[in-house]
Amino acid sequence: MDITEKIIAARESKKIKQSELAEKLGLDRSNYSRIEKRGNKLTLEQIEKISDALGLDLTELITWGEESQSDKNLKKLTDNSINSLQRELSDTTLYISTLNNFLNSNVELKKLIDIEFKKIYEEREKDRKLSPWYSDDMPPLPSSLDEEIQHRINANRTLLDWCKRLVDMTTK
């Protein structure tokens, strides 16, 4: 991609019309149109003025549309992390579903677990209220095993969604 192709791509991605960019540069649209057709014959001064008018620094414009090695590494790392989180979420969901089925078929065991969970919940809630970061508008802690299970599944989904948004933001 030559410099004028990068200028055009940057201008179009910023949804700036030729006439608008020409005005920022103090040119007629027809004169600016000729600049975009000059190919690699632009001077460094012209390229700097165009990058300023586009709101880019010179390096951003010159490397427009090129993915750096660090961007590729970051994308690969985040893709691997997302895949790992998806597998973990799937495994966790399967494990929780299996555990839930087991507990639902063993009502007495579930009652004992709920009693123990209630004790743990009360202890956690007491500790939380002693925390300097505690406020009354904080969401309550899960108070049953079923709530805890759902909370953990939702937390994993939230983390996965956040990672996906991060990848989307870094690859644009």
Q: At 16, is the pLDDT very low, low, confident or very high (cuts 50, 70, 90)?
A: very high
Q: Which residues contact 144 (CB under 8 A, 6 or more apart)?
A: 114, 117, 118, 121
Highest average pLDDT, of 14-23, 30-39, 72-81, 120-129, comes from: 14-23
Q: Which two tokens stand for residue 104?
A: 């639902």
SS3 141: coil
Write down the mean pLDDT value for the chain.
Answer: 78
Greater pLDDT, 110 or 87: 87
CB atoms within 10 A of CB 93: 15
Arithmetic mean of pLDDT, 57-85: 78
Q: pLDDT digit string (tens) for 102-147?
A: 777 777 777 777 787 777 777 777 777 776 666 666 666 666 667 7
The predicted pLDDT at position 12 comes to 92
Instruction: Give the C-alpha separation, 17 to 168, whole Å.
Output: 26
Beta-strand ranges (E) seen in the chain are none
Domains of the chain with bracketed CATH: 3-62 (1.10.260.40), 69-170 (no CATH)
The predicted pLDDT at position 52 comes to 92
Q: At 80, is the pLDDT very low, low, confident or very high (cuts 50, 70, 90)?
A: confident
φ, ψ for residue 140, nearest 5 deg: -70, 155
Greater pLDDT, 168 or 86: 86
Burial label, 22 (beta-carbon count in 10 A; 0-12, 13-18, 19+): buried
